[in-house]
Every structure is written in C-alpha cells, then in structure tokens.
Amino acid sequence: MNGCRFRLEELSPQNCKGQPRRMAETKKTLVRFGGSALASFIRLVDRTSKRIYEPADILDRLADLHPCIVACWHGQFMMVAGLRPENVKVAAMVAKHGDAELIGEAMRALGVQLIRGAGAGSRRRDRGGASALRASLSALADGHSLVMTADIPPGPARIAGAGIIAISRMSGRPIIPVAVASKHFASFDTWSRLTFNLPYSRLAFVAGEPIEVPAGADAEVLESKRLELETTLNAVTTRAYELAGSDINRAMPLDVLAAASPPAPGPMFTIYRAGTSLLRPAVPILLNMRGRQGKEDTPRRGERLGFAGLPRPEGQLVWVHAASVGEMNAVLPLIERMLAANPHIHVLLTTGTTTSADVAARRLPERAIHQYVPLDVPQYVARFLDHWKPTIAIFTESDIWPNLVLGAADRGIPLVLVNARMSPRSINRWRRFARFGRPLFSRFAAILTQNESIGRAIKRLGAPNVITAGNLKIDSPPPHVDAAAEAALRAAIGRRPVFLAASTHPGEDAIIAAAHSLMRRDIEGLLTIIVPRHPERGGGLAASLGSLGLKTQLRSRSPDPAAETEIYIADTIGELGTFYAISKIALVGGSLIEHGGQNPIEAVRLGACVLTGPYTHNFKDAYRSLIREGGAIEVRSSDDIARHVTKLHVDQQAAELMRSGADRALKSLSGALEKTLGAVQPLLEKQKV
C-alpha cells in the first residue's frame, strides 16, 4: 500500500490527508480517460456508418435556425452530436450526478460546451436546475445551440418536462425535436432504456418541425406545447428506427412497452405456477397447523381451496380483495360508496384472516358478502373464478398474488389496485425483479397509489394508468366504538390517568413497560393499556411484564381493569376504537421497531394525542404531515415516552394544540376516496350488462 500505512501510530490526519486528494485525482483521471475513449468510439460509429437524413437538408435547417434548442429523449442521445452544422457552437445540458461525469467528458472531447444541472422532475429536489436554466439562456444568447433531453431522470420516460418549454419561452428560440437511430445497437434496462450505438451500421437522423413557444404563453398554451413536443419526439424516434431498419422495441423503456402491450409471463411465472401446484399435497397440513393456532376458520376451510361457501348473486359482482383488518377498513367506505352509486351491483369481499372475517360479519353493508381468499394455487384460483365470475376485481394495497392476478386477467376481468403502497425495501425488490413484476402490474387498468414515489416505482413496472390518490385510510371513518364497553371501562377506571400503547409488536412492550415505570413516579394512579397487534400474544406478554414486578391483567379474563392493575392488556379483537375513545394520549405501535408503523389516523379521529417511534415508512405521508403540523410527536426511547406523556397529562393546552395540528394535517391529506371512486366508476359503467 502506498497510501496510509497500517501502523496505528501513523494513522493520523497529517499522514492520511493526502489520500482523499490522490483518490479524487485518480477518479478524475479515469473519468477523463473514459470520456476520451467514449468520444473516440462515437467518432468511430459516425465514421464507419452510412448516414440517412430526414429531411435531406436537416443540417441546413439547423444552421438556419441557429441558435436553437435541440431536444431528444434520454437514453437516445449518444449520436446527437453528429447533427452539428459546420461552424456552429453547441452547448449541452448534463446532469451533476456521478454517472453523468463520463458523458460530460465525452462532450468536452467532442468540442461541446457543458451546462451542468437538470430539472428536479418528480423528485422535487434541487439538482442545479435554476443555475442550469440561467446558463442555458446565457448560452443561447451567446450564440450556442442547446442540446438537452426532454424527459427528466428518474422518469417517467418519454414524458416531456416543463423545463425545456420554459427555456424556449424565455429565450425566444425554437425547439427542434430530433432522433438518431442505428441498425446495430445495444440497449440496457435503465429507466430510459439507454441505447449504445455500434459501428459499421446505418445511422438515421430525423428532425421534426420547429416548435415555437410564445413569450406570453399562459399555462394552457405551455401545456399544449409540451404535449406537441412529446408527440413529435415519439414520432421522429419511431421514424428514425424505421429508416435505420432496426427494432424500436429494443430501444423502448421496458415500462413503456409493458404499458402499451402487457408482456407475456416468462419462465419465472412458469416455475412459480408449477411450484404452487406441486405444493398442493402440503396445503391440508398447513391449514391444519394454522387452524390449531387460531389463524384459520376451520368450518370455512374449503374457501381457502377455492370452494364457494355461498351462491353467486345475480348480475354484476365486484370482487374486492383486502389482506386483513387494516386494508379492509380502508376499502369499506369505497364499498359503501360503490353500492350506493350502483344499485344493480353486489360486492364480494375476500380477506385472508379470521379477525377480518369477524369484522366483515359485523360491518359489511347489504348486498356485500364475505369469503376467504383462495390460496394462490392455480387450481384453487380457477375454481374460485369459475364460480364467482367477477365483473371487475379490486385489489388493495400490496396484497398481489400472481396466480390470482393473471388468472383474472386471462378471463378479461378488469383489474384495479387501490391504496397501493410499497415500502422502500419492496420498491428495491421489485426493481431487481422487474421482469417478474411487469407482467403483473401492466395488467391493471388503473392503479391508485398513496404517494408519488410509489407511483413512480409502479410506473417503472409498466402500469399504464397510475394515479396518485393519497391514502384511503385518511378518509376512513374512525374505528368502531362500543358504547356499552366504553361506559363500563370508564366506570372501572374512574379518574385514573390513562396511557394507551396501540397495535404493539414484539420488542416494543418492554420499552413501554419501562416508560410506565418512569411515569408512575409523576402521574399518580397511572393505568397503561397495551393493545397488542396480534391478540394471541396477550398471555405471554402478561407473564413477561409480570416478571418485571408490574401488576398486569388480561382483558380476555377480566373485562374491567382492577384498581391495583398497572398494565391492562387488551388481548381482544375489534376493540381498538373503544380504547382510543377512553385514552387522551396514545403511542401508535409498530414504530419503535423496524416494522414501519401502524395507522395513526384512527387515533387522531378519536381525539387521542399521537406519539410515534421513528420507524413510520408504512404511513410516511400521514406521519410527515402530522409532525409538520404539530399533530404528532416522535419518540425514540422509554425516557422520551415518559417525558412527553407526563407533559401532555399536565399541560392541557399543549394537548389541545396537538389535536388542532392533527386536524389540520387530516384536512391536507384527505380526498383519496373521491379520486378512487372516480377511477373505479367508469369501469363499472363500462361493464354494465
């Protein structure tokens, strides 16, 4: 090693300070070498290929319009430098990220002036766009034609951004849509389908008519010009590949291709289908095990095998699938609105858990029935679909099963995904297995996502119609409050202060118990109520907290907390709303560990001040808005919990300010139900018989 030595006494800032500088210099050298090599390769492709121009006088036209703005699609820019009339100065906009350094060096080697920066696009963060805009206007004013891509990383691809239109309006210079295609090329599965042109080929250069953007253009005119650019760029790109004699599909972003024509399931699906079929003999054993654990409804086990437990209603049947209680609560208002707006339809709701079936039995409206969703085995799925013959299928959030989706699509059943969500980990996983995801997501007629980042990820998977609608759980009514149970609890608790830990997961209860031990010093008679996310944990939880010297009590054994009880464990089903109603302060669980958090809106709607741990990616938008408006507090330890709960018990004004902030946050987040119904209703109308 010629850099820092391994001897500890020599590992000092003085001895190591030259190392980062040497590494930076090495990187610059490599980038310069790579850029020079790329420029040489571009010259080789240009020199060894036969050129075709359309129109034939394209170079003369560009010279006459100079300085102008030359627009191309991202990923298709390698040979655009060849469209350069003699004695014309050219500047190119190149992004600031590391991957663009090589391209920038190649442009320099080709005699092109660089403008560093790019539009923010859908990421809405500064990427040097303002300085790039100023530099672009300056370059045009100085007699440089400007080359830039119309679509903005990270996509969606082939959608023109507003930035190029703004530059044209402010500079008064026209936009020339261009495309260059070669007969021989390599392409890569990047967001824009990066295309690498190869030598000894046929090069086709195509330009569209100039697009002029008036200086006084209003928003409507600007949008029409953006759409004109988008349409023309698609047309010249298609024409360039025709002239080059090459297959444009190999250069199209895979998500764009999938959206236009859903790809056939590949070998991975064949393996998946075969594997799930081969596992059929093990299914009874699995269901028996789950039944003994209380996770399966044994009398209705046939439904998990695709056997119907009820006859199919006459007429249109809308199939809505939700994994469990949380997802079902989110779609119940949608079910009610669909039934109210369409008196001729019935709804089939499927879920996969016994708790959700219990809630469905109590809450489903008239003309709606419940069944357990079949396991994702081809034979079970076929049996289910053959009996129910749904008119339309609506899936919820992220519970997407390949055999169910493809089985419904193969029967021509329109598919909708509502309240779609993906964790950052899931997004990365889907990106790695995009060839598996595209045949699934491209078959949905509409997908309504909780936020824009999820929408971008799903667009990359080929979904043709993605709408950012927001979270349906924001518009859901508060969870059910049992008036009799509430009155009995209030009578038993009396004037004791209450702290609620709702929907907790393993690893959180010890933190809450430690917080209780701290709080009881300052809050006399404190009763802490823990509602575990999975009620079957109640017995073990009571034993472990009891071993810490805390007086615990299970609701399943004693309906009312005793006067000496310190920790009351609500190991029952469907009572969370009742406990929120009697608690002024609630920690929403799943957030002190890396689970991703549970829904805070239920607590807010029932008037509880919300505390949350730092892990909230399952409800990122809701928590971000709540914390911004002062409607929720983030805690990271038992000390944090104790401090904030104690303050809120003492300071009623602070508690009221929190509730007001939470109300403001809810108002800013609402509207998902109307958007979702607006997307689903046209499909229902289309399917009328």
Confidence of residue 648 (pLDDT cuts 50, 70, 90): very high
Mean local confidence (pLDDT), 574-584: 93
Confidence of residue 1 (pLDDT cuts 50, 70, 90): very low
Contacts of 434 (CB under 8 A, 6+ apart): 189, 254, 460, 461
Q: Look at residue 19 in the predicted model and tell me its pLDDT.
A: 65
Q: Look at residue 197 in the predicted model and tell me its pLDDT.
A: 95
Q: Does 327 qualify as catalytic in the annotation?
A: yes
Confidence of residue 119 (pLDDT cuts 50, 70, 90): low
Name residue, tokens 């075969």: 274
For the chain, the domains span 27-252, 267-470+678-686, 483-669
Instruction: Tell me the average pLDDT of the chain.
Output: 90
Residue 574 burial (C-beta neighbours within 10 Å; 0-12, 13-18, 19+): middle
Is the pLDDT assigned to residue 173 strictly greater than 90? yes
- Strand runs labelled E in 538-656: 552-554, 567-569, 585-588, 609-612, 632-634
Q: Look at residue 162 in the predicted model and tell me its pLDDT.
A: 93
Name residue, tokens 């025709």: 242
Q: Look at residue 132 in the predicted model and tell me its pLDDT.
A: 86
Mean local confidence (pLDDT), 511-516: 96
Domain covering 267-470+678-686 in this structure, CATH number: 3.40.50.11720
Q: Which residue among 101, 327, 397, 602 is the active-site one?
A: 327
Q: Look at residue 74 in the predicted model and tell me its pLDDT.
A: 93
Q: How far apart are CA 104 and CA 96, in angstroms?
A: 9
Q: Is the model more confident about 260 or about 636?
A: 636
Confidence of residue 435 (pLDDT cuts 50, 70, 90): confident
pLDDT cut 70: percent of the chain above it: 94
* Beta strands 527-532; 567-569: pairing state: parallel
Confidence of residue 96 (pLDDT cuts 50, 70, 90): low
Confidence of residue 137 (pLDDT cuts 50, 70, 90): very high
Mean local confidence (pLDDT), 640-652: 95
Mean local confidence (pLDDT), 585-589: 97
Q: Look at residue 477 in the predicted model and tell me its pLDDT.
A: 85
Is the pLDDT assigned to residue 7 strictly greater than 50? no
Mean local confidence (pLDDT), 445-468: 91
Confidence of residue 20 (pLDDT cuts 50, 70, 90): low
Is the pLDDT assigned to residue 189 strictly greater than 50? yes
Q: Is the model more confident about 325 or about 24?
A: 325
- Asked if domains 267-470+678-686 and 483-669 share a fold, the reply is yes
Q: Name which of 182, 213, 201, 187 is nearest 48 in CA terms.
A: 201
Q: Look at residue 378 in the predicted model and tell me its pLDDT.
A: 96
- How is residue 363 written in tokens? 């809450």
Is the pLDDT assigned to residue 97 strictly greater than 80? no
Is the pLDDT assigned to residue 292 strictly greater than 80? yes
Q: Name which of 187, 220, 174, 182 is nearest 48 in CA terms.
A: 182
Q: For 206, what's the count of Cα atoms within 13 Å in the CB-facing half-sphere?
A: 21
pLDDT cut 90: percent of the chain above it: 72
Q: Look at residue 586 in the predicted model and tell me its pLDDT.
A: 97
List residues bridging with 585 in a β-sheet.
609
pLDDT digits (tens, 9 = 90+) for 121-131: 544 455 567 88
Q: Cβ distance 522 to 492 under 8 Å? A: no
Q: Look at residue 99 in the predicted model and tell me its pLDDT.
A: 61
Q: Look at residue 12 in the predicted model and tell me its pLDDT.
A: 46
**Angle, helix 672-686 to helix 325-341, in steps of 10 degrees:** 60
Lateral strand order in the sheet of 317-321: 368-372, 346-351, 317-321, 392-396, 415-420, 446-449, 466-468
Q: Is the model more confident about 121 or about 655?
A: 655
**483-669: CATH class:** alpha beta
Q: Look at residue 41 in the predicted model and tell me its pLDDT.
A: 93
Q: Backbone phi, then psi, for 661, in 5-degree steps?
A: -65, -40
Q: Look at residue 127 in the predicted model and tell me its pLDDT.
A: 54
